[in-house]
Structure formats: structure tokens, C-alpha cells
Amino acid sequence: MCGILGTIPNTNKNHFAQALDTLTHRGPDDFGVYHDECISLGHRRLSIIDLSHNAKQPMAYKSCRGGGNIILSLMVKSIIF
């Protein structure tokens, strides 16, 4: 199991962290968050298959142009090949 949380529009970071903490039982091994001016994403991870740091979420793609801004952030509960 894992836990995911998202809010649109962005919410208070402390309230978001408290809400994400309520999902700790679904993913006690790791967590990650992404905030910008429009959205907040959070993930609680239960490490089963990929135990490496490469599976940390939310995954982010940074553009090579424009100062390395994040242009894509992704959270999934599945396997990506």
C-alpha cells in the first residue's frame, strides 16, 4: 500500500503536512511532497519492489531550458517500465 494526497488550489503547508501524516500507516518507509502556487502533491511510500532512491515520489522532470524549472510532477501507485 501507499498513500497519495493532492490539493487544488495549493493549501497551507502545515495543514497539508498534517493531512499527509494521517496516511503514514499506508506508507511508513518514505514520503515526498511537491508544492507550487497552484497545487500540492504528497506521497507516503511503502517500499516493496524498488527500494532505491529512484522510486521516490513525487517524481519531477526539470526543463533544461528556463532555469531548470519543474515542468512535470508525477505521483503514481503502479509500476513504470
As a whole number of angstroms, the distance between CA 3 and CA 35 comes to: 17
As a whole number of angstroms, the distance between CA 34 and CA 44 comes to: 12
As a whole number of angstroms, the distance between CA 30 and CA 44 comes to: 6
Q: What positions carry a catalytic annotation?
A: 2
